[in-house]
Amino acid sequence: MSKPVALLAYQDADLEKQQIETGLRTTANRVKLNKLAKYVKQQQATLTKLTEDMESHSAAMNRLNAQYEAVLDRLDLESSEFETLKGDEECTSEEMTEFRHDIEKLQREANNLEKEIKQLFRSLEETVSEYQKTRQQGAKAKKEYDQVKILCQKEKDDAAIDMLAADKKLEELERHVSPSLMNRYKRARLHNSVPVVEVRDGKCSGCNMSLPSLAIRRLIGENMILECENCGRLLYADND
């Protein structure tokens, strides 16, 4: 017999265990959980961004308000001076006109600032409402995440018995494989989920690379197990 029966039996049991593990990772609940985790993370990033926006909006608002107050103060001052000058007989009409222009300029400035403040306020309100909406959505998703997580844990607990049985089976089958071959299997298993494959038509059936004729002779004639130089899988020839 050249087929490594014990090793292949071990591999079959190993594949069964892999299937249980893969099954657990791909249940509807697990897929949903991953999706929700991603969504919650996105919402958190959005919240951080919106918080920064709100802070910069507030800072801009404070600056504008201070500017506006300053302009109003100047306007007050100029207006009262203007009133005083109106009663002053020595004041020329040119001076009066200049004063009037100054006051008009300040008024335009105040109007513009008022407009800017209103605009900024609307924008701030929008940001706040977006923040609240995002927070609500995030909280809802987090709640759902927690619920689905419990379901996933239950699935895992249920599968634990199967996993234990699979481990026991592997332990039993390992006794029939020599330690050195087992080491080679485990090494190949690091990079291949199915580490032992048959040689078919002179090729590795794992990666399809053609094998040198010497290797084929040793596989068939000497019943050896060789490693594929290309993919690292263990190769055997089925002489039957």
Select 204 or 237, whichever has its Cβ closest to Zn ion.
204
CB atoms within 10 A of CB 232: 18
Q: Does residue 113 bind Zn ion (CB under 5 A)?
A: no
Select 20 or 207, whichever has its Cβ closest to Zn ion.
207
Which x/- pattern over 199-238 shows residues binding Zn ion (rule: CB under 5 A)? -----x-xx--------------------x-xx-x-----
Burial class of residue 225, CB neighbours in 10 A (0-12, 13-18, 19+)? middle
Select 189 or 233, whichever has its Cβ closest to Zn ion.
233
Interatomic CA distance for residues 120 and 126, integer angstroms: 10
The CB-of-233 to Zn ion minimum distance in angstroms stands at: 5
The CB-of-196 to Zn ion minimum distance in angstroms stands at: 11
**Near Zn ion in 15-74, by CB under 5 A:** none
What is the maximal distance between C-alpha atoms in the chain?
A: 128
Which x/- pattern over 175-204 shows residues binding Zn ion (rule: CB under 5 A)? -----------------------------x
The CB-of-208 to Zn ion minimum distance in angstroms stands at: 7
Select 64 or 194, whichever has its Cβ closest to Zn ion.
194
The CB-of-6 to Zn ion minimum distance in angstroms stands at: 22
* Residues with Cβ within 8 Å of residue 125, at least 6 apart in sequence: none
Interatomic CA distance for residues 91 and 223, integer angstroms: 120
Interatomic CA distance for residues 203 and 213, integer angstroms: 10
The size of the interface with Zn ion (CB under 5 A), counted in residues, is 7
Q: What residue type is assigned to position 101 of the chain?
A: H
**Residue 152: enclosing H or E segment and its boundaries?**
helix 93-174
Written as six digits, the tokens of 107 are 């008024």
Write out the residues near Zn ion by the rule CB under 5 A.
Answer: 204, 206-207, 228, 230-231, 233
